């Protein structure tokens, strides 16, 4: 059965283009796979804690040797990793803030970047451990064109997903909304129409 993990990271709960696009992408996937299940995580409304020294110690301490506080800290990261590994498709809302990805989305990536869990080091270099998962990213910006010299978000997100083992990554882009809202949304909707469900 198909399982979809939906990640929204916009701090706007109303009027968010990336949320509108993730809505439309998930709707398309569900139309093609009516029995699919969806897990939704709203990082904009419910931000994750930033990683810090206590987090680093907690996740690198063997589970049977963690203190109660360390176990609680690690449990959040463990849950996020389990959600990702359980999904066949991850749909990510990527609004562009100051030419980069939101800190909320960066925190999600940081929580999951754990050796032995989402990647491992081998003689050939890092190897991603999240296999057979596809990612569809809803890129939204008022004027930062995806792939341009000032886009510091899409390449980074693609790299991090690949680092985790997710190499089938597709983008849907509404990247000039403040310049021409109608054309920007049409471009994104055309991208969605071309997606294989």
Binding residues: 10, 16-18
Cβ–Cβ < 8 Å for 119, 165: yes
Burial 54-79 (b: 16+ CB within 10 A, else e): ebeebbeeeeeebeeebeebbeebbe
**Furthest C-alpha separation in the chain:** 56
User: Which residues carry a binding-site annotation for FMN?
Assistant: 10, 16-18
Helix (H, G, I), strand (E, B) or coil at 183: helix
Query: How far apart, in whole angstroms, are the C-alpha atoms of residue 81 and residue 153?
Result: 21
Cβ–Cβ < 8 Å for 100, 109: no
Helix (H, G, I), strand (E, B) or coil at 186: helix
């Amino acid at each position: 059965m198909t399982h979809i993990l939906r990640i929204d990271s916009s701090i706007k709960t109303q009027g968010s283009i990336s949320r509108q696009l993730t809505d439309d992408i998930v709707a398309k996937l569900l139309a093609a796979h009516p029995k699919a299940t969806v897990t939704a995580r709203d990082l904009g409304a419910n931000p994750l804690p930033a990683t810090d020294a206590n987090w680093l110690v907690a996740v690198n301490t063997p589970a049977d040797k963690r203190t109660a506080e360390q176990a609680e800290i690690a449990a959040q990261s463990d849950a996020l990793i389990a959600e990702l590994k359980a999904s066949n498709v991850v749909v990510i809302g990527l609004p562009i803030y100051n030419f980069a990805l939101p800190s909320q989305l960066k925190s999600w990536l940081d929580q999951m970047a754990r050796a032995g869990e989402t990647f491992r080091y081998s003689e050939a270099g890092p190897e991603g451990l999240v296999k057979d998962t596809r990612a569809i990213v809803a890129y939204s910006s008022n004027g930062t064109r995806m792939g341009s010299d000032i886009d510091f978000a899409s390449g980074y997100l693609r790299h991090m997903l690949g680092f985790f083992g997710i190499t089938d990554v597709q983008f849907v882009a509404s990247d000039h909304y403040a310049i021409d809202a109608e054309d920007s949304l049409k471009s994104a909707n055309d991208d969605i129409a071309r997606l294989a469900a």
